[in-house]
Amino acid sequence: MTRNREQSGHALYCVASDAYFRTLGIPLVRGRMFGDEDQSDTPHVALISEALARQRWSNQDPIGQTIDFGNMDGNLKPLTIVGVAGDVRARGLDLPPSPIIYVDYRQRGMGANSSPTILMRGRAPAGELVAAARGVFRELAPDVPVKFSTFAGEMGGWLADRRFLLILVGVFAFAALALAAVGIYGVVAFTVARRTQEIGIRMALGAERDDVLRLVVGEGAKLALVGVGIGIAGGLAITQLMSSLLFGVSTTDPITFIAVAFLLTAVALLASYIPARRAMLLDPNSALRYD
C-alpha cells in the first residue's frame, strides 16, 4: 500500500468526491477535502480514514505521506495524503472501523469489476427523490440498468438477522415477565388464603383495612425485590452474550437496568394488589370461621 515495504498493508478503496463526505456526514478530522485544484493532470491526492491513520501513522502526522495504491485501477501514480476523514464501519456495525483510502473521482477510476454508486440526500421523501433520479437517468442513459435503494433499506438488510434475534429475545422476555406476574399473584393469593383466619383476627383486634393492604402488598414487594436483585445479578453475568447483538449501547447501561427494575417491581406490586384488595375486603366474622 505504501512506498515503504515495511508499511505495506491493505485498505478499502473508495472513489469519491468532496460531496460524498457531506452526504454521508463523514467529518474531516484534519487536513483538507478534495478541491477543484485536484485534476487528472495534477499530483494525485487521497484522504484516509482515522483507522488507517492510527494503524500506519500512529506516532506521526499522515498528512503529506505518500501511498502507492494501483492494484484497483492499474494507475501507479503515487497518492499524497491531504486529509484524514472520520471512521466508517463499512463491513458491518459489529466490526471495527475499516481502514479506507479515498481518491478523487477526477483523478482515479474504479476497478474493472466495480460499478459506481451515486448517493443522494435531500429534504423530500425518499420516494420522490428516487422518482426524480430515475427520470434523470432515463434521459441520460436509457439503456443502462440502474438500481435504487434507500439508506434505511440498506441498513435494514444489514440488521435483519440481528433484529430477528432481538425480537425473539423480546418475546421471550415478555413471556417471562407474564409468567413472573402470574407466579407472584399465585403465591400471594395462596398466602392470603392460608392466612385468612389470621387476617380476620387482626381485623377483629382493630387492624384497619389499609393495614391489611400494606401487610399483603409488603410481602409481595419483598418477593419482588429479591427477584429483581437476582435478576440484575444474572443480567450482569450474561451481558457478554448480548454484546455481539448491540451497537452503540452498553451492555451494562445503568438507565436500562434501573428502568427494567422499576418495571418488574411495578408488575409485582400490581400482581400483589389484587389478592391484597380481596383480603382487605374480608368480613372479620367470616374470616374467623374460615377453614
Q: What is the pLDDT along the chain (291 residues), one digit of tens a residue?
A: 544 444 567 888 888 888 889 888 899 999 999 988 988 889 999 999 999 999 888 888 899 988 887 666 667 788 999 999 999 887 777 778 889 999 998 888 766 566 777 777 778 787 788 888 888 888 887 887 788 777 777 777 777 777 888 788 889 888 887 887 788 778 777 777 777 667 777 777 777 777 777 877 887 788 778 888 888 888 777 776 666 666 666 777 778 778 878 887 887 788 777 777 777 776 666 655 555
Taking CA 43 as the corner, what is the angle to CA 116 and CA 68, rounded to the nearest 5 degrees? Answer: 70
User: How many CB atoms are closer than 10 A to CB 152?
Assistant: 9
Total residue length of the chain: 291
Residue 133 lies in a domain: no
Residue 138 lies in a domain: no
Residue 46 lies in a domain: yes
Residue 146 lies in a domain: no
Distance CA 3, CA 9 (A): 11
Classify the C-alpha dihedral 44-47-53-59 as positive or negative: positive
CA nearest to 281, candidates 269, 291, 273, 271: 273
> Cα dihedral angle (251, 256, 258, 264), rounded to 10 degrees?
-110
| Same domain for 282 and 164 | yes
pLDDT value at position 5? 44
| Same domain for 166 and 273 | yes
pLDDT value at position 187? 77
Residue 284 lies in a domain: yes
| Same domain for 212 and 112 | no
- Domain span at residue 65? 5-117
Say how many domains are in the chain: 2
Distance CA 208, CA 200 (A): 11
Residue 66 lies in a domain: yes
| Same domain for 87 and 19 | yes
Distance CA 57, CA 76 (A): 22
pLDDT value at position 3? 47
Among 117, 140, 172, where does a domain finish? 117
Among 117, 152, 180, where does a domain finish? 117
| Three cell numbers, residue 188 | 400471594
| Three cell numbers, residue 50 | 482515522
Among 91, 117, 143, where does a domain finish? 117
Q: Which residues make beta-bridge pairs with 100?
A: 12
Residue 140 lies in a domain: no
Please classify residue 219 by burial: count the beta carbons closer than 10 Å to its beta carbon, then call 0-12 exposed, 13-18 middle and 19+ buried.
middle
pLDDT value at position 246? 66
| Three cell numbers, residue 225 | 425485590
pLDDT value at position 269? 80
| Same domain for 170 and 228 | yes
Residue 123 lies in a domain: no
Q: Which helix (H) or strand (E) holds 230?
A: helix 209-237
| Same domain for 108 and 12 | yes
